[in-house]
Structure 1
Amino acid sequence: MKKLLALLFTVTLLSSCSIDGGKNPADITPKDYSTENEAQITDYLAKNNLTAKAMATGTGLYVIVNEQGTGKRASSTSSVTVAYKGHLINGSVFDQSNTDGATFQLDRLIQGWIEGIPYFQEGGSGVLLIPAHLGYGSYAKNGIPAGSVLIFDIKLISVND
Protein backbone atom coordinates (compact mmCIF):
# COMPACT_ATOMS: atom_id res chain seq x y z
CA MET A 1 0.00 0.00 0.00
CA LYS A 2 2.84 2.41 0.85
CA LYS A 3 4.45 1.74 -2.53
CA LEU A 4 1.17 2.40 -4.31
CA LEU A 5 0.69 5.69 -2.42
CA ALA A 6 4.29 6.72 -3.15
CA LEU A 7 3.82 5.91 -6.83
CA LEU A 8 0.53 7.82 -6.95
CA PHE A 9 2.14 10.82 -5.23
CA THR A 10 5.08 10.78 -7.67
CA VAL A 11 2.82 10.53 -10.74
CA THR A 12 0.63 13.37 -9.42
CA LEU A 13 3.66 15.54 -8.66
CA LEU A 14 5.28 14.96 -12.04
CA SER A 15 2.08 15.54 -13.96
CA SER A 16 1.37 18.79 -12.17
CA CYS A 17 4.83 20.28 -12.60
CA SER A 18 5.57 21.95 -15.89
CA ILE A 19 7.13 25.13 -17.15
CA ASP A 20 3.75 26.40 -18.25
CA GLY A 21 1.76 25.71 -15.10
CA GLY A 22 0.16 22.60 -16.59
CA LYS A 23 -1.73 24.44 -19.34
CA ASN A 24 -0.09 22.57 -22.20
CA PRO A 25 -0.37 18.81 -22.59
CA ALA A 26 2.94 16.99 -22.35
CA ASP A 27 2.21 15.09 -25.54
CA ILE A 28 1.49 18.13 -27.72
CA THR A 29 2.65 17.72 -31.30
CA PRO A 30 4.55 20.85 -32.32
CA LYS A 31 3.10 22.66 -35.33
CA ASP A 32 5.03 24.79 -37.80
CA TYR A 33 3.40 28.23 -37.83
CA SER A 34 6.10 29.80 -40.04
CA THR A 35 4.00 30.37 -43.17
CA GLU A 36 1.00 31.63 -41.20
CA ASN A 37 3.17 33.91 -39.03
CA GLU A 38 5.02 35.34 -42.05
CA ALA A 39 1.68 36.31 -43.61
CA GLN A 40 0.47 37.82 -40.32
CA ILE A 41 3.66 39.84 -39.89
CA THR A 42 3.76 41.18 -43.46
CA ASP A 43 0.05 42.07 -43.23
CA TYR A 44 0.62 43.86 -39.91
CA LEU A 45 3.57 45.79 -41.38
CA ALA A 46 1.53 46.84 -44.43
CA LYS A 47 -1.52 47.91 -42.39
CA ASN A 48 0.68 50.00 -40.09
CA ASN A 49 2.86 51.52 -42.86
CA LEU A 50 5.97 49.88 -41.43
CA THR A 51 7.06 47.74 -44.38
CA ALA A 52 9.82 50.13 -45.49
CA LYS A 53 11.24 50.37 -41.96
CA ALA A 54 11.23 46.63 -41.20
CA MET A 55 14.26 44.42 -41.68
CA ALA A 56 13.70 40.68 -42.00
CA THR A 57 16.38 38.41 -40.63
CA GLY A 58 17.08 34.97 -42.01
CA THR A 59 15.20 33.31 -39.14
CA GLY A 60 11.82 35.01 -39.62
CA LEU A 61 12.37 37.74 -37.03
CA TYR A 62 11.53 41.28 -38.16
CA VAL A 63 13.32 44.24 -36.58
CA ILE A 64 12.35 47.89 -36.82
CA VAL A 65 15.00 50.27 -35.54
CA ASN A 66 13.40 53.61 -34.69
CA GLU A 67 16.45 54.91 -32.85
CA GLN A 68 19.79 53.09 -33.11
CA GLY A 69 21.26 54.31 -29.83
CA THR A 70 24.87 55.26 -29.18
CA GLY A 71 26.03 53.08 -26.29
CA LYS A 72 27.20 49.49 -26.01
CA ARG A 73 25.68 46.72 -28.08
CA ALA A 74 24.45 43.59 -26.30
CA SER A 75 25.64 40.10 -27.11
CA SER A 76 23.47 37.02 -26.82
CA THR A 77 24.81 36.42 -23.30
CA SER A 78 24.53 39.99 -22.00
CA SER A 79 22.51 41.18 -19.05
CA VAL A 80 20.29 44.00 -20.34
CA THR A 81 17.82 46.50 -18.94
CA VAL A 82 14.93 47.04 -21.33
CA ALA A 83 11.72 49.04 -21.15
CA TYR A 84 9.18 47.10 -23.20
CA LYS A 85 5.58 46.43 -24.04
CA GLY A 86 4.59 43.05 -25.47
CA HIS A 87 1.41 42.68 -27.49
CA LEU A 88 -0.22 40.40 -30.01
CA ILE A 89 -1.14 41.19 -33.63
CA ASN A 90 -4.65 42.13 -32.43
CA GLY A 91 -3.16 44.75 -30.09
CA SER A 92 -3.87 43.00 -26.79
CA VAL A 93 -1.04 43.65 -24.34
CA PHE A 94 0.27 40.58 -22.53
CA ASP A 95 3.21 42.11 -20.63
CA GLN A 96 5.06 45.35 -20.09
CA SER A 97 7.72 46.86 -17.89
CA ASN A 98 7.59 50.15 -16.09
CA THR A 99 9.45 53.11 -17.59
CA ASP A 100 12.61 52.19 -15.65
CA GLY A 101 12.67 48.88 -17.49
CA ALA A 102 13.41 45.37 -16.35
CA THR A 103 16.75 43.58 -16.23
CA PHE A 104 17.20 40.20 -17.90
CA GLN A 105 19.95 37.77 -18.70
CA LEU A 106 19.43 37.71 -22.46
CA ASP A 107 20.33 34.05 -22.98
CA ARG A 108 17.50 33.03 -20.62
CA LEU A 109 14.80 34.65 -22.75
CA ILE A 110 12.95 33.59 -25.89
CA GLN A 111 15.03 33.24 -29.03
CA GLY A 112 13.41 36.32 -30.61
CA TRP A 113 14.88 38.53 -27.88
CA ILE A 114 18.26 36.78 -27.92
CA GLU A 115 18.50 37.46 -31.65
CA GLY A 116 16.73 40.84 -31.74
CA ILE A 117 18.11 42.90 -28.86
CA PRO A 118 21.70 42.95 -30.28
CA TYR A 119 20.39 44.98 -33.25
CA PHE A 120 20.17 47.96 -30.88
CA GLN A 121 22.77 49.91 -28.96
CA GLU A 122 22.13 51.39 -25.52
CA GLY A 123 19.56 54.14 -25.84
CA GLY A 124 18.10 52.57 -28.96
CA SER A 125 14.46 51.78 -29.48
CA GLY A 126 12.26 49.95 -31.93
CA VAL A 127 10.07 46.93 -32.49
CA LEU A 128 10.67 43.19 -32.59
CA LEU A 129 8.10 41.10 -34.50
CA ILE A 130 8.70 37.56 -33.34
CA PRO A 131 7.19 34.54 -35.08
CA ALA A 132 6.04 31.63 -32.92
CA HIS A 133 9.11 29.45 -33.56
CA LEU A 134 11.26 32.19 -31.97
CA GLY A 135 8.77 32.69 -29.14
CA TYR A 136 6.59 30.07 -27.49
CA GLY A 137 5.95 27.91 -30.54
CA SER A 138 3.09 25.45 -30.21
CA TYR A 139 2.59 26.20 -26.52
CA ALA A 140 0.22 28.65 -24.86
CA LYS A 141 1.96 30.80 -22.26
CA ASN A 142 0.44 33.24 -19.75
CA GLY A 143 -2.60 34.03 -21.89
CA ILE A 144 -0.66 34.01 -25.16
CA PRO A 145 -2.25 31.51 -27.57
CA ALA A 146 -0.09 28.83 -29.18
CA GLY A 147 1.37 29.90 -32.51
CA SER A 148 1.19 33.62 -31.75
CA VAL A 149 3.32 36.33 -33.29
CA LEU A 150 4.75 38.43 -30.45
CA ILE A 151 5.33 42.14 -30.95
CA PHE A 152 7.60 43.99 -28.55
CA ASP A 153 8.08 47.75 -28.48
CA ILE A 154 11.47 48.04 -26.83
CA LYS A 155 13.95 50.60 -25.55
CA LEU A 156 17.38 49.25 -24.66
CA ILE A 157 18.25 51.21 -21.55
CA SER A 158 21.57 49.55 -20.70
CA VAL A 159 23.88 46.64 -21.36
CA ASN A 160 25.07 45.55 -17.93
CA ASP A 161 28.02 43.28 -18.59
Structure 2
Amino acid sequence: MRYLLTLTHSLIYLFLAFIALSSCKKNLEEERNFNENSSIESFIAKNKWTFNEADGIYHVVRVPEYGYLASRGDTVEFWYRGYTLDGKIFDTNVKSEAKKAKLDTLLRSFVPIKVIAGESNLIDGLNDGLLQIRENEFATILFASDLGFGGKAFGTVEAWSPLAYDIELLKVNSLNIQQEKSYISGLNLVSSGFSEDTSGLFYNFETVGTELPPTIRDTIYGWYKGTLFNGTVFDEISTDNRQIVLSSDILPPGVKLGFMLTRKTGITELVLPSYLGFGNNGNDLVKPYETIRYRIRLDSIKQ
Protein backbone atom coordinates (compact mmCIF):
# COMPACT_ATOMS: atom_id res chain seq x y z
CA MET A 1 0.00 0.00 0.00
CA ARG A 2 2.86 2.36 0.91
CA TYR A 3 4.50 1.51 -2.42
CA LEU A 4 1.34 2.40 -4.29
CA LEU A 5 1.03 5.73 -2.48
CA THR A 6 4.67 6.56 -3.24
CA LEU A 7 4.17 5.62 -6.89
CA THR A 8 1.02 7.72 -7.10
CA HIS A 9 2.78 10.73 -5.59
CA SER A 10 5.65 10.31 -8.05
CA LEU A 11 3.27 10.23 -10.99
CA ILE A 12 1.51 13.36 -9.73
CA TYR A 13 4.86 15.17 -9.40
CA LEU A 14 5.85 14.10 -12.92
CA PHE A 15 2.50 15.29 -14.29
CA LEU A 16 2.81 18.66 -12.52
CA ALA A 17 6.38 19.02 -13.75
CA PHE A 18 5.22 18.29 -17.32
CA ILE A 19 2.46 20.91 -17.02
CA ALA A 20 4.92 23.46 -15.65
CA LEU A 21 7.44 22.71 -18.42
CA SER A 22 4.74 22.99 -21.12
CA SER A 23 3.51 26.28 -19.64
CA CYS A 24 7.06 27.64 -19.52
CA LYS A 25 7.65 26.61 -23.15
CA LYS A 26 4.39 28.28 -24.22
CA ASN A 27 5.32 31.47 -22.39
CA LEU A 28 8.74 31.52 -24.07
CA GLU A 29 7.13 31.02 -27.50
CA GLU A 30 4.62 33.80 -26.86
CA GLU A 31 7.36 36.15 -25.67
CA ARG A 32 9.54 35.37 -28.69
CA ASN A 33 6.60 35.88 -31.05
CA PHE A 34 5.72 39.19 -29.37
CA ASN A 35 9.32 40.42 -29.67
CA GLU A 36 9.55 39.40 -33.33
CA ASN A 37 6.26 41.10 -34.20
CA SER A 38 7.46 44.22 -32.38
CA SER A 39 10.59 44.14 -34.55
CA ILE A 40 8.45 43.82 -37.66
CA GLU A 41 6.28 46.78 -36.66
CA SER A 42 9.38 48.87 -35.91
CA PHE A 43 10.76 47.96 -39.35
CA ILE A 44 7.47 49.00 -40.99
CA ALA A 45 7.38 52.27 -39.02
CA LYS A 46 10.99 53.03 -39.98
CA ASN A 47 10.03 52.71 -43.65
CA LYS A 48 6.88 54.83 -43.08
CA TRP A 49 4.65 52.13 -44.49
CA THR A 50 1.03 51.45 -43.63
CA PHE A 51 -0.06 47.85 -43.15
CA ASN A 52 -2.86 45.40 -42.53
CA GLU A 53 -2.27 42.37 -40.31
CA ALA A 54 -4.12 39.06 -40.51
CA ASP A 55 -3.20 35.73 -38.91
CA GLY A 56 0.27 36.98 -38.01
CA ILE A 57 1.10 38.20 -41.53
CA TYR A 58 1.76 41.90 -42.12
CA HIS A 59 0.72 43.10 -45.58
CA VAL A 60 2.12 46.35 -46.95
CA VAL A 61 0.80 47.58 -50.32
CA ARG A 62 3.76 49.24 -52.01
CA VAL A 63 2.18 49.84 -55.43
CA PRO A 64 -1.63 49.44 -55.30
CA GLU A 65 -3.47 47.91 -58.23
CA TYR A 66 -7.01 46.84 -59.03
CA GLY A 67 -7.12 43.14 -59.77
CA TYR A 68 -8.34 39.78 -58.56
CA LEU A 69 -7.40 38.94 -54.99
CA ALA A 70 -5.69 35.55 -54.83
CA SER A 71 -7.86 32.84 -53.28
CA ARG A 72 -6.89 29.45 -51.96
CA GLY A 73 -6.60 27.10 -54.91
CA ASP A 74 -5.92 29.82 -57.50
CA THR A 75 -2.88 29.52 -59.74
CA VAL A 76 -0.56 32.48 -59.15
CA GLU A 77 2.68 33.65 -60.74
CA PHE A 78 5.02 36.11 -59.08
CA TRP A 79 8.46 37.62 -58.69
CA TYR A 80 9.85 37.67 -55.16
CA ARG A 81 12.73 38.80 -53.00
CA GLY A 82 13.16 37.34 -49.50
CA TYR A 83 15.23 39.14 -46.88
CA THR A 84 15.76 39.52 -43.16
CA LEU A 85 14.93 42.72 -41.31
CA ASP A 86 18.57 43.85 -41.51
CA GLY A 87 18.18 43.90 -45.30
CA LYS A 88 20.14 40.75 -46.20
CA ILE A 89 18.61 39.05 -49.25
CA PHE A 90 18.63 35.27 -48.86
CA ASP A 91 16.46 34.18 -51.80
CA THR A 92 15.02 35.66 -55.00
CA ASN A 93 14.00 34.75 -58.54
CA VAL A 94 15.05 38.17 -59.87
CA LYS A 95 18.51 37.84 -61.39
CA SER A 96 19.58 41.44 -60.82
CA GLU A 97 18.68 41.11 -57.13
CA ALA A 98 20.54 37.80 -56.86
CA LYS A 99 23.68 39.37 -58.34
CA LYS A 100 23.38 42.34 -56.02
CA ALA A 101 23.14 39.99 -53.02
CA LYS A 102 25.98 37.81 -54.39
CA LEU A 103 23.80 34.72 -54.44
CA ASP A 104 24.59 31.73 -56.66
CA THR A 105 23.15 32.53 -60.09
CA LEU A 106 24.04 29.18 -61.69
CA LEU A 107 21.72 26.95 -59.69
CA ARG A 108 18.76 29.30 -59.56
CA SER A 109 15.91 29.66 -62.02
CA PHE A 110 15.15 33.29 -62.81
CA VAL A 111 11.58 32.98 -64.03
CA PRO A 112 8.33 33.85 -62.26
CA ILE A 113 7.41 31.16 -59.75
CA LYS A 114 4.07 29.46 -60.39
CA VAL A 115 2.20 27.80 -57.51
CA ILE A 116 -1.27 27.00 -56.20
CA ALA A 117 -2.06 29.77 -53.69
CA GLY A 118 -2.47 28.55 -50.13
CA GLU A 119 -1.69 24.94 -51.07
CA SER A 120 1.97 24.99 -52.08
CA ASN A 121 5.04 23.70 -50.24
CA LEU A 122 6.28 27.24 -49.62
CA ILE A 123 6.87 28.33 -46.02
CA ASP A 124 3.60 29.17 -44.26
CA GLY A 125 4.08 32.94 -44.15
CA LEU A 126 4.71 33.16 -47.89
CA ASN A 127 2.07 30.60 -48.78
CA ASP A 128 -0.68 32.36 -46.80
CA GLY A 129 0.66 35.85 -47.46
CA LEU A 130 -0.06 35.43 -51.17
CA LEU A 131 -3.76 35.26 -50.25
CA GLN A 132 -3.63 38.93 -49.20
CA ILE A 133 -2.25 40.23 -52.50
CA ARG A 134 -4.04 41.31 -55.68
CA GLU A 135 -3.09 40.66 -59.28
CA ASN A 136 -0.50 43.22 -60.54
CA GLU A 137 0.07 44.51 -57.00
CA PHE A 138 3.57 45.06 -55.63
CA ALA A 139 3.55 44.31 -51.92
CA THR A 140 5.73 43.39 -48.96
CA ILE A 141 4.64 40.69 -46.55
CA LEU A 142 6.36 40.21 -43.21
CA PHE A 143 5.96 37.53 -40.56
CA ALA A 144 7.56 36.04 -37.47
CA SER A 145 9.80 32.98 -37.52
CA ASP A 146 7.02 30.56 -36.56
CA LEU A 147 5.62 31.16 -40.08
CA GLY A 148 9.10 31.04 -41.62
CA PHE A 149 12.04 28.75 -40.88
CA GLY A 150 11.40 28.58 -37.13
CA GLY A 151 14.36 27.34 -35.11
CA LYS A 152 16.26 26.15 -38.18
CA ALA A 153 18.94 28.18 -39.92
CA PHE A 154 18.52 28.57 -43.69
CA GLY A 155 21.60 29.73 -45.57
CA THR A 156 22.45 33.13 -44.13
CA VAL A 157 19.16 33.26 -42.20
CA GLU A 158 19.67 32.59 -38.51
CA ALA A 159 17.23 30.54 -36.46
CA TRP A 160 14.21 32.43 -35.10
CA SER A 161 14.44 35.23 -37.69
CA PRO A 162 11.39 37.24 -38.78
CA LEU A 163 11.27 37.54 -42.56
CA ALA A 164 10.14 39.94 -45.27
CA TYR A 165 9.23 39.21 -48.87
CA ASP A 166 8.73 41.73 -51.67
CA ILE A 167 6.15 40.26 -54.04
CA GLU A 168 5.06 41.35 -57.50
CA LEU A 169 1.99 39.26 -58.26
CA LEU A 170 1.88 38.94 -62.01
CA LYS A 171 -1.12 36.72 -62.55
CA VAL A 172 -4.04 35.15 -60.69
CA ASN A 173 -6.10 32.52 -62.46
CA SER A 174 -8.91 30.11 -61.65
CA LEU A 175 -12.05 28.66 -63.21
CA ASN A 176 -14.15 31.34 -61.47
CA ILE A 177 -11.99 34.12 -62.92
CA GLN A 178 -12.07 32.60 -66.41
CA GLN A 179 -15.85 32.29 -66.25
CA GLU A 180 -16.30 35.92 -65.20
CA LYS A 181 -13.95 37.19 -67.90
CA SER A 182 -15.88 35.17 -70.47
CA TYR A 183 -19.18 36.58 -69.17
CA ILE A 184 -17.94 40.18 -69.39
CA SER A 185 -16.61 39.59 -72.89
CA GLY A 186 -20.02 38.29 -73.92
CA LEU A 187 -21.69 41.52 -72.80
CA ASN A 188 -20.01 43.41 -75.69
CA LEU A 189 -19.89 46.53 -73.53
CA VAL A 190 -17.57 48.60 -75.73
CA SER A 191 -19.80 48.13 -78.77
CA SER A 192 -22.72 49.16 -76.53
CA GLY A 193 -21.19 52.57 -75.84
CA PHE A 194 -19.11 51.82 -72.74
CA SER A 195 -15.49 52.80 -72.27
CA GLU A 196 -13.04 50.75 -70.22
CA ASP A 197 -10.89 52.36 -67.54
CA THR A 198 -7.36 51.08 -66.88
CA SER A 199 -8.71 49.47 -63.70
CA GLY A 200 -11.09 47.29 -65.72
CA LEU A 201 -14.14 49.41 -64.85
CA PHE A 202 -16.64 49.94 -67.68
CA TYR A 203 -18.48 53.29 -67.73
CA ASN A 204 -20.94 55.13 -69.92
CA PHE A 205 -21.79 58.82 -69.40
CA GLU A 206 -25.55 59.20 -69.72
CA THR A 207 -25.15 62.88 -68.80
CA VAL A 208 -21.67 64.34 -69.05
CA GLY A 209 -21.94 67.07 -66.40
CA THR A 210 -19.71 70.09 -65.78
CA GLU A 211 -16.59 71.11 -63.82
CA LEU A 212 -13.86 68.75 -62.63
CA PRO A 213 -14.61 65.32 -61.13
CA PRO A 214 -13.97 64.76 -57.39
CA THR A 215 -10.93 63.05 -55.87
CA ILE A 216 -10.76 60.24 -53.32
CA ARG A 217 -10.30 62.85 -50.58
CA ASP A 218 -13.60 64.58 -51.34
CA THR A 219 -17.01 64.34 -49.75
CA ILE A 220 -19.73 64.54 -52.35
CA TYR A 221 -23.50 64.67 -52.61
CA GLY A 222 -25.32 62.36 -54.97
CA TRP A 223 -27.14 59.11 -55.51
CA TYR A 224 -26.40 55.55 -56.58
CA LYS A 225 -28.19 52.28 -57.27
CA GLY A 226 -26.64 48.84 -57.62
CA THR A 227 -28.33 46.02 -59.54
CA LEU A 228 -27.54 42.50 -60.67
CA PHE A 229 -27.84 41.73 -64.36
CA ASN A 230 -31.14 39.96 -63.64
CA GLY A 231 -32.54 43.29 -62.39
CA THR A 232 -32.34 42.58 -58.64
CA VAL A 233 -31.57 45.75 -56.67
CA PHE A 234 -29.00 45.04 -53.95
CA ASP A 235 -27.87 48.55 -53.03
CA GLU A 236 -29.58 51.94 -53.28
CA ILE A 237 -29.56 55.35 -51.65
CA SER A 238 -33.21 56.02 -50.83
CA THR A 239 -32.99 59.83 -50.96
CA ASP A 240 -31.48 62.28 -53.40
CA ASN A 241 -28.45 64.45 -52.71
CA ARG A 242 -27.09 62.12 -50.00
CA GLN A 243 -23.67 62.87 -48.51
CA ILE A 244 -21.09 60.31 -49.66
CA VAL A 245 -17.52 60.07 -48.33
CA LEU A 246 -15.45 58.67 -51.19
CA SER A 247 -12.70 57.34 -48.92
CA SER A 248 -15.23 55.27 -46.97
CA ASP A 249 -14.84 51.49 -47.02
CA ILE A 250 -18.61 51.17 -47.42
CA LEU A 251 -18.46 51.86 -51.16
CA PRO A 252 -17.17 49.19 -53.57
CA PRO A 253 -13.92 50.32 -55.27
CA GLY A 254 -15.62 50.52 -58.68
CA VAL A 255 -18.24 52.97 -57.40
CA LYS A 256 -15.53 55.23 -55.99
CA LEU A 257 -13.73 55.13 -59.32
CA GLY A 258 -16.98 55.85 -61.13
CA PHE A 259 -17.65 58.97 -59.08
CA MET A 260 -14.07 60.12 -59.70
CA LEU A 261 -14.77 59.92 -63.45
CA THR A 262 -18.10 61.77 -63.20
CA ARG A 263 -18.50 65.54 -63.37
CA LYS A 264 -20.97 67.65 -61.38
CA THR A 265 -24.62 66.92 -62.35
CA GLY A 266 -23.38 63.98 -64.42
CA ILE A 267 -25.06 60.58 -64.51
CA THR A 268 -22.92 57.51 -65.24
CA GLU A 269 -23.71 53.85 -65.77
CA LEU A 270 -21.05 51.46 -64.46
CA VAL A 271 -20.26 47.77 -64.92
CA LEU A 272 -17.99 46.40 -62.23
CA PRO A 273 -15.96 43.19 -62.50
CA SER A 274 -16.17 41.37 -59.16
CA TYR A 275 -12.74 42.59 -58.01
CA LEU A 276 -14.13 46.16 -58.17
CA GLY A 277 -17.34 45.06 -56.52
CA PHE A 278 -17.78 42.46 -53.80
CA GLY A 279 -14.86 40.27 -54.76
CA ASN A 280 -14.23 36.61 -54.09
CA ASN A 281 -16.72 36.37 -51.23
CA GLY A 282 -19.72 38.37 -52.43
CA ASN A 283 -22.44 39.20 -49.91
CA ASP A 284 -26.01 38.14 -49.11
CA LEU A 285 -27.30 39.14 -52.56
CA VAL A 286 -24.18 39.24 -54.73
CA LYS A 287 -22.48 35.93 -55.50
CA PRO A 288 -18.69 35.48 -55.36
CA TYR A 289 -17.06 36.60 -58.63
CA GLU A 290 -20.32 38.20 -59.83
CA THR A 291 -20.23 41.14 -62.24
CA ILE A 292 -22.58 43.94 -61.14
CA ARG A 293 -24.02 47.25 -62.38
CA TYR A 294 -24.34 50.68 -60.78
CA ARG A 295 -26.02 53.87 -61.89
CA ILE A 296 -24.62 56.95 -60.16
CA ARG A 297 -25.29 60.69 -60.14
CA LEU A 298 -22.98 63.39 -58.81
CA ASP A 299 -24.98 66.38 -57.55
CA SER A 300 -22.18 68.44 -55.99
CA ILE A 301 -18.82 68.35 -54.23
CA LYS A 302 -18.59 69.57 -50.64
CA GLN A 303 -16.53 72.72 -50.44
- 1:61-100 paired onto structure 2 within 5 Å: 61-100=201-240
Unaligned 5+ runs, structure 1: 1-27
- Larger radius of gyration, structure 1 or 2? 2
Q: Quick one: distance in 2 between partners of 1:59 and 1:68? A: 20
- Of stretches 93-102 and 59-68 in structure 1, the one that deviates more from structure 2 is 93-102
Unaligned 5+ runs, structure 2: 1-70, 75-172
TM-superposed deviation, 1:39: 3.1
Is the CA contact (8 Å cut-off) linking 1:139 and 1:146 kept in structure 2? Answer: yes
Pair 1:54 & 2:194 matched: yes
SS in 1 for 2:256: helix
Equivalent residue, structure 2, for 1:118: 260
Structure having greater relative contact order (Cα 8 Å, sep ≥ 6): 1
Equivalent residue, structure 2, for 1:137: 279
Is the CA contact (8 Å cut-off) linking 1:72 and 1:159 kept in structure 2? Answer: no
TM-superposed deviation, 1:44: 3.4
The counterpart of 1:37, out of the listed 171, 174, 180, is 180
Q: Quick one: distance in 1 between partners of 2:265 and 2:188? A: 24
State the number of aligned residues: 131
Q: Quick one: distance in 2 between partners of 1:62 and 1:53? A: 10
Q: Quick one: distance in 1 between partners of 2:241 and 2:181? A: 29
Amino acid at match of 1:29: R
Is the CA contact (8 Å cut-off) linking 2:255 and 2:294 kept in structure 1? Answer: no
Q: Quick one: distance in 1 between partners of 2:253 and 2:193? A: 22
Q: Quick one: distance in 1 between partners of 2:273 and 2:195? A: 14
Q: Quick one: distance in 2 between partners of 1:131 and 1:63? A: 12
SS in 2 for 1:63: strand
Equivalent residue, structure 1, for 2:246: 106
Q: Quick one: distance in 2 between partners of 1:30 and 1:151? A: 28
RMSD between superposed Cα atoms in Å:
2.3
TM-score by length of 1: 0.70
